[in-house]
A and B are shown apart, each in its own frame.
Chain A
Amino acid sequence: MSKRSDMTETKNWSGQTLVTADHMLFEAPRSKHFMTGSEVLKEAVKRCTVDASVSYPITPQSEAAHLIGELWAEGYVGVYFRGENEFGVMSEVAGCAMAGARTITTTSGPGTLRAMENFAQWSGTRIPCQLILMARGINSPLTIQPDNLEVSYMLETGCQIWYAENVQELFDMSIAAFVVAEKPDVHVPIITVVDGFFVSHTRESVMLPEDDIALFPYDPNRAPLPAIDSETPPGRFLRDPFVMKSNYISYATHASWQWEIRSAVERSVPYARHYLKGLVHVTGDADAEIAFVACGTASYQAKEAHRELTKLGIKTKVIKLRTIRPFPEAELLEALKGVKTIFVPEFNVVGWLEKEVKKCLYGKCDANVVGGPRVAGGMSMPAEAILREVMEKINSGKGA
């Protein structure tokens, strides 16, 4: 195992050369590899000078968690262990991050829901930890299949939520996520979502920088709240809730604290824009009157549908949302200029992204929003399903 004290000004404890996030993400030469999402997450964590990770098995994220354990055994990660269940794990992650560690964990579906109370606690304590959410269905009946309903439960936790489409994006996003979450004026947790199996288990070509470089370590002394390490003067109020005093000031403080968490998420926008090269990615026909607004695998399938529709002479564009919290309102409205009909293809039964889009557009955009197509419970979303939705809408009554 490594020792943190092995770190020098230019090398981290595992001997990797310390580089800036800009160098890591944009400048370092890259070479081609062929790997799954789980495997690429190991490569990302390996290059992030990660202090701590806590794991727990649940399909489909288990392999990613194993591989972080291997990094610990190889000396790249400082602290690693298996927790007792997801509620315990997320509390252990909180403890690690409170004590000043760059911390990462992974979970899926039922694990996310079991741990739920922790996510609001994470943002409330302003810890910049990262959760890799490999989305899967929620019980009952029992399913282990891809489905992103769980993301809807995360929307109001006060955490940042990013959504990666593929293996390459998971690599780049999970590195950028630490950097943005740790900005002193942001400093709230970040959840990087991918669709389970579609990304975690699919092997793709990816371009990776060499593994002899790594991000500079997290510096807890720059945090807006002191780390719980007995190295700074203790305040009367550290990270305790304000319930201790039942008076107007405590209520007002609690209210403003919650506003501040949401403001901190919004303050991540310029950083996210820089490191992600935009909060939305737009592809397809710039002058299209039909747009797909999607995230993750659904945006990949929408791009397939766009190619098919192009053959039929129908112009469309795909607006892929890369951040869900903060919601990229300005970018979305800009990308929707001239659009008359919006389709929101989703891998869940409730259409949480459709609701998000409608809320954003209300009073600001006249385009008609069609919530669909939607698949759930592990059903796939072939491009034909999207085509059928579009054709039925624009060619009403005549079908696809």
Chain B
Amino acid sequence: MGTNIYKINPEFRDIMPKEIIDLEENATWSATTDKRGIKELPETKELLEEHSLCAGCPEAAALRYVLAALPKPEDTVIVNSTGCTSLMFPHIALHTVHSLFGNQNAVATGIKRVLDWRFPEIEKDVVVLAGDGATVDIGLDYTLQSFFRQENITTICFDNEVYANTGGQESGATPKGQVFKMAPTGKKFEKVRMWELAVTSGCHYSMNMTASAPKAVAKAVREAIFVARYLGPTFLNIYTPCILEIGLNANEGLREMKEQDKERFAAFKFVSPEAEELLAKLKEEGRL
């Protein structure tokens, strides 16, 4: 169907909310531009309408970057899990799923396999977007198993190093020693290095980064989705600090991310030789 599903019936146009009309008139799709990206954010209609996260939440910014970078949003399904991210999902103008807490990569597997079965001629991308609790703790099995099975899925973890939506409890992604609820004397074990597990579990592309540089996030998302589409599983771990739980003000998220660019989220990038080749070819073709 492509972008036709976003065409408004002329008879209903006068009663449509402005954001729906904007989607038709001013959103970008794979057919309207070769390369969607961050640069479009100020001028075009975003796929995320208003949301209910805290003021200044880096996660909201990161989601805007992700959505702006999708190579083919009109044929992209995003699978979510429980947590702060799930508060934004009803506001995304794409097909999205919230199923249970932790089963996101299993649901995405079913969706991707059936989309390939039903629409063999159409490239449909499935992207998982979940927090660190969903990815590293409760959903670790399903996440890694989807990597083992070589599912053509992009998995993005918005790592805020804490269970934020439930009130600030320690997660597997919390750094050692950090005091959070359920770890009143400090966390006893090291932060789980999910980006490394992704590599040993079969991902063709794995990154650890912060959301401090929008263009870098967009580039990673775009590359990860292309590699997942043509080769196999890809993983992005993106630091989106919970400013509320670590005691920062609404305007301090960016500074925190920049500081962590050199610390726990110092750039880690793995690209398999096949993925290198693919990305070089896509670049040559002008698709990256």
| A93 beta carbon closer than 8 Å to chain B | yes
Residues of A within 8 A of B219 (CB): none
Residues of A within 8 A of B145 (CB): 83-84, 88
Segment among B38-46, B103-111, B233-241, B255-263 that sits at the interface with chain A: B103-111
Give Cα A162 to B252, complex, Å.
57
| A238 beta carbon closer than 8 Å to chain B | yes
Which residue on A lies nearest to B149, using beta carbons?
A81
Give Cα A244 to B103, complex, Å.
19
Chain B nearest Cβ from A116, distance in angstroms: 11
Candidates A78, A230, A239; contact of B94 at CB < 8 Å: A230
Q: Taking A95-B110, A231-B1 as contacts, is the C-beta distance between A84 and B75 under 8 angstroms? A: no
Contact status A233-B141, CB under 8 Å: no
Give Cα A238 to B121, complex, Å.
25
Candidates B90, B93, B114, B121; contact of A79 at CB < 8 Å: B114
Total contacting residues, chain A, CB less than 8 A: 48
Q: Taking A92-B109, A92-B110, A100-B114 as contacts, is the C-beta distance between A230 and B5 under 8 angstroms? A: yes
Contact status B94-A101, CB under 8 Å: no
Give Cα A3 to B118, complex, Å.
9
| B76 beta carbon closer than 8 Å to chain A | yes
Contact status A51-B99, CB under 8 Å: no
Candidates B1, B114, B119; contact of A95 at CB < 8 Å: B114
Chain A nearest Cβ from B237, distance in angstroms: 21
Candidates A91, A96, A240; contact of B89 at CB < 8 Å: A240
Contact status A239-B97, CB under 8 Å: yes
Q: Taking A95-B109, A96-B113 as contacts, is the C-beta distance between A88 and B141 under 8 angstroms? A: yes
1/0 contact string of A56-92 vs chain B (CB within 8 Å): 0000000000000000000000110101110111011
| A396 beta carbon closer than 8 Å to chain B | no
| B176 beta carbon closer than 8 Å to chain A | no
Within 8 A of A (CB), among B125-175: 141-142, 145, 149
| A5 beta carbon closer than 8 Å to chain B | yes
Which residue on B lies nearest to A118, using beta carbons?
B100
Within 8 A of A (CB), among B77-111: 77, 79-80, 86-87, 89-100, 103, 106-111
Which residue on A lies nearest to B17, using beta carbons?
A236
Residues of B within 8 A of A270 (CB): none
Give Cα A180 to B145, complex, Å.
34
Residues of B within 8 A of A97 (CB): 110
Give Cα A103 to B111, complex, Å.
12
Within 8 A of B (CB), among A220-277: 226, 228-234, 236-241, 243-245
Residues of A within 8 A of B120 (CB): 3-5
Contact status A98-B90, CB under 8 Å: no
| B6 beta carbon closer than 8 Å to chain A | yes
| Chain A interface residues toward B at CB < 8 A | 3-5, 51-52, 54, 78-79, 81, 83-85, 87-89, 91-101, 103, 117-118, 121, 125, 226, 228-234, 236-241, 243-245
Give 22 CB contacts A-B under 8 Å: A4-B117, A51-B114, A78-B117, A79-B117, A81-B149, A84-B142, A87-B106, A91-B142, A95-B110, A96-B114, A98-B111, A101-B110, A101-B118, A229-B77, A229-B124, A230-B1, A233-B5, A234-B5, A234-B94, A234-B96, A240-B96, A240-B97
Q: What are the nearest 5 A-B pairs in CB distance? A: A95-B110, A91-B106, A91-B103, A99-B114, A96-B110
